[in-house]
Amino acid sequence: METIKLIVDSINTILWDYILIVALMGIGIFMTVRLKFPQFTRLFPALRKMFSGLMNKEPVEEGKMTPVQALSTAVAAQVGTGNIVGVATAIASGGPGAAFWMMVSAFFGMSTIFSEAVLAQKYREIKDGQLVGGPAYYIKNGLNSKGLSLFFAIACIFALGIVGIMVQSNSVAGSVSDAFGIPTIGITIVLTMVVALILMGGMGRIASFAETVVPIMALAYILGSLLIIFFNIENFIPAIKSIFIGAFSPKAIGGGALGITIQQTIRYGLSRGLFSNEAGMGSTPHSHAVADTDHPAEQGFTAMIGVFISTFLICLSTVMVNLTSQSYNPNISAVEMNATATIMTQSGFASGFGSFGGMFLSICLSFFSLTTIVGWYFFAESNVKLVFNSKAKTLKTFKFLVIVALVIGTLIDATFVWKLADMFMGIMAIPNIIALFLLSKEVRKILDDYDKKHIAKDFAKKGV
Helix (H, G, I), strand (E, B) or coil at 127: strand
- The helix/strand/coil state of 135 is helix
What backbone torsions phi and psi does residue 65 show, to the nearest 5 degrees?
-125, 155
The whole-number pLDDT of residue 140 equals 93
Q: Is the pLDDT of residue 338 over 60?
A: no
Q: Going by C-beta distance under 8 Å and a sequence separation of 6 or more, which residues neighbour residue 245?
A: 96, 97, 252, 253
Q: Which residues partner with 140 through β-bridges?
A: none
Q: Could you give the CA distance from residue 139 to residue 121 in angstroms, rounded to a whole number?
A: 13
pLDDT tens profile 361-405: 878 877 777 778 888 888 888 898 888 876 667 788 888 898 888
Res 120: pLDDT: 94
- What homologous superfamily does CATH list for 1-453? Amino acid/polyamine transporter I (1.20.1740.10)
pLDDT at 25: 87
CA distances from 141 to 30, 63, 446 (A): 23, 21, 16
Q: What is the pTM of this model?
A: 0.85
Look at phi and psi of residue 37 and say left if phi exceeds 0, alpha if psi is from -120 to 50, else beta.
left
The model's pLDDT over 56-94, given as tens digits with 9 standing for 90+, comes to 666 555 556 776 677 777 776 667 667 777 788 788 778
pLDDT band, residue 460 (cuts 50/70/90): very low
Higher pLDDT among residues 23 and 90, named by residue? 23
Q: How is 265-282 classified by DSSP, letter by letter?
A: HHHHHHHHHHHHH-TTTT
Q: How many Å separate Cα 51 from the centre of its chain?
A: 21
